[in-house]
Structure 1
Amino acid sequence: MRITGAEIVINCLIEQGVDTIFGYPGGAILNIYDALYKSSDKIMHFLTAHEQGAAHAADGYSRVTGKVGVCMATSGPGATNLVTGIATAYMDSVPLVAITANVPLSLLGRDSFQEVDVAGITMPITKHNFIVKDIDELATIIRRAFYIAQEGRPGPVLIDIPKDITAQTAEYSYEEPRPIKDITETIKEEDILDAVRLIEESERPLVYIGGGAVRSGASEDIRKFVQKAQAPVTSSLMGLGGFPSTDEFFTGMLGMHGTKASNVAATRCDLLIAIGVRFSDRATGNVDN
C-alpha cells in the first residue's frame, strides 16, 4: 500500500513492537505526530517538559523493560536537547532509537531556520546514525536502526528525517523484525578448568558484577554460583540490581561512591571474579597502579 513517510515511521515502530514513545513536538516533526495520533490505540506517547527528559525517559524505559527505548524531537534545538540522554545510553550500552526531524532536503546546508547537523553532533555518541534522503529507503533505515541498537553491545541509534520526506508517499509492506543473533564466544575447556582451579585455590575470592550481568539476564546464575562458592559480591553502579541487595553475601557498590566493605574486600581479595564489568575509573582508580 502507498502511504506517507510519517505513516511509514509509525507503522515501522509498530512492526518493531514499540508501544511507548517519549517526545516533544515541533514544526518539523508535526507530520509524524499527526500519524502517531492516528495510532494512539497502539502506541502511547508521553509528552515531556523538555527533549532531554524524553531521551532520559526512553533510556530508563529500556533499562526497566529490556525493550528498545524510543524518543522523538523536532529540528534544531529539539534535536540538540536529546544529546545528553543519547550520550548516557551510549556510555551505559542501552538500546535506544532517537528520531529527529530536520528542515526539508532542499534547505539542508543553507543555514536554514532550526537547521542543525544532528547526525554530525551525535556521531561520537551513537552506534550509528542515519539521514533519510530518499523516502523509498525510510522503512529499511528504521528497521536497520532497531537491529543495530540491539545487536552486539547495545546502544543508541539516531534517525534524522527531513520534513518533506514525512509528507511524500511510498509503497509500504509489513515485515517481521529481524531476529537478533546471540553472540556466543567459544571458550576453551582448558581455560574453564583454569578458572575452576583458581576459584578452588582462592582463600578470599570476590565476585564483581556489572551492567553486562544485568543486561544478559545472568542474575540467577550468579546467585547460584555465589551460594556454591560462598564468595562475597560487590557491584558497579550499572550492576546494581543484578544481585539481591538484601543477600548476606552482598557488600554493596564498589569504588569512589561505594561502601567501605566493598572497597576493603576488593583490596584484600586474592581473586577477583569479574562478570560483565568494564573496570570504570570510578571503581578502579589508577589502573596502572
Structure 2
Amino acid sequence: MNLNQLRYFACVGRLQSYTQAANELHVSQPSLTNAVHRLETELNLTLFTHRGRHITLTATGHALLQVVQTTLTTLDNGVAAVIAADSQQPIKIRVGCIPTVIGTYLPKILHEFEQAHTRQITFELHSVTTERVLRGLAAKTLDLGIAAVDGRRPGVLYHPLLKQPFIVVVAPNHPLAHRPQLTLTDLLPYEVLTYTPDLLIGQKVQRTLTRQGISDQLDLKAVYPDEISIAGMVQSSTAVGLVADTLYLEAFDLVKVPVAVPEDLRVIYAMYRADNPQHAYLAELFKLFGQQKRK
C-alpha cells in the first residue's frame, strides 16, 4: 500500500466513478483501476460493488474512505505548513473563477490584497467553468473558488459576491424591445434560446420554468453554452434569449428587458474549504470582499 493508492482510492470513493476520477487526477483509467484493485487485494477488503459500469462504495469502503480522507488532509496540511515555515517564497493561493467575473472587480481586489501582504501572498488565477471550480476545490487543486452555485457543500465556507437576475435579450427591432418588463408568458409566441441543461445554470433555468408551470408551453431551445452564443443568435433573428445579465452581453447590439421571475438566475459566491491550510488569509480576503461590496 502506498500514498498514490490512497489518493486514487480517495478520489474514486468521493466521485464513485473511475472515469471522473481519472479525468480529475490526470491518469489513465486502467492505471487507476489497477491501483484500486491492488489496494483491495493488499488489504483483503471489498471497497466497491460493481453494477455494470457503475460503482458504489461498500460499507467497508465508506469506513476506509473517512479514514483515508482524514489522514490525507492531515498530511497535506502538515506538509504545507512545514514548507511555508521554511520557505522565503510567498504563499501561492490558486484561484478558480468563472469567466464572467474574472475580468471585473476581482483582479483589483486580489492585487490590493497582494499589496497589503507584500512577499507573503501571490495569486494564481484560472478562468474555468463552475463545474471545474467545484472539482478543483474538492480535489484541493484550487484554494479559492469564484462561481455560481445553488446549494452549499459541507466543509466549505461561502461569501456571496453578486447576483445576476433573469433577463430577456432581443434585437432592437423586436416587438418586445420597448417593453419595460416581461413575464414568462410574454415569451410564448417566440422561440426562446437559453443554456444547455449540461450546465448548472441551464439546470437552474429548467427548474425555474418548471416551478412557474411554463416549461412545456415555451418553444425552448436549450442548447447553448454561454451568453455569447445566445446573444449572437438573437441579434439577427426574431428569437429571444433568456439569460443572466452579464458583461458578455455588452458587446452585442441587443436590448435587455427585465423579466418578472421571483429569484435570481445566478448568485456568485467566493468559497474555500474550511480545512485549507491558508484559512487565515482566505478569511481575511472574505472580509475584503465584504468591504468592496458595501462601497
For normalisation by structure 1, the TM-score amounts to 0.31
Q: Which has the higher contact order (CA 8 A, sep 6+)?
A: 2
Looking at secondary structure, tell me which structure has more strand per residue: 2
